[in-house]
Amino acid sequence: MSGKHYKGPEVSCCIKYFIFGFNVIFWFLGIAFLGIGLWAWNEKGVLSNISSITDLGGFDPVWLFLVVGGVMFILGFAGCIGALRENTFLLKFFSVFLGIIFFLELTAGVLAFVFKDWIKDQLYFFINNNIRAYRDDIDLQNLIDFTQEYWQCCGAFGADDWNLNIYFNCTDSNASRERCGVPFSCCTKDPAEDVINTQCGYDARQKPIFGICLAQNLVSDIEAVRASW
């Protein structure tokens, strides 16, 4: 009996350490996202005054970092420790958690297709709320500018959506220099410009100035295309 060895099924080292290594990266990314989110809140004074979380009328992008970071941290911890210690409970938790996330994404896609009109209305409502709060939070402002530049859009329906913002509306009582304008992210960039013109949206919705701006943007596009020939 002493010369015999047990030769039963063994845990695959390749799979074990692949899952471990993958989740170590996932875990550290989660910690990084959480750290960025907490640092951003600390810079804005939220951590010293928790009640100020509700002060912002629009969406605070810091929530994205905290929620995504939290999920990544939990998944990374469960997968990493579960694989290293061969803990079946943590590995099952990791698998079920991933399955739930996949199911929620699939459900959201189906619901978005079935209730697309309602989703569209809610999306416009969400965008307009954030337009109102454009100047209230620098993170939200940067997110809106990035979105408008990336999608080459201006507001939810059009440039006049910026009438919802107290700094950009066209009312006579508005003393802001940005009155009847739009953020610079609404402007079409001139490829020849190295520095962003943050004042390009001033008075953009005052007729006929708005038409002139559109015409000038179109001229810039045409010249850029011709220059590439």
* pLDDT (tens digit per residue) in 20-70: 888 888 889 999 999 988 888 887 777 777 766 666 667 778 888 899 999
Q: What is the dihedral of CA 72, 75, 79, 85, to 10 degrees?
A: 110
Residue 1: its pLDDT value, please? 46
CB 60 within 8 A of CB 140: yes
What would the two tokens of residue 63 be? 């929530």
Residue 21: its pLDDT value, please? 84
Q: Which of 128, 140, 125 lies closest to 62 in space, CA to CA?
A: 140
- Residues of the chain short of pLDDT 70, as ranges, are 1-12, 51-57, 207-221, 223-229
Residue 215: its pLDDT value, please? 58
Report pTM: 0.64
Residue 207: its pLDDT value, please? 60
Residue 219: its pLDDT value, please? 65
Amino acid identity at 10? E
Residue 191: its pLDDT value, please? 72
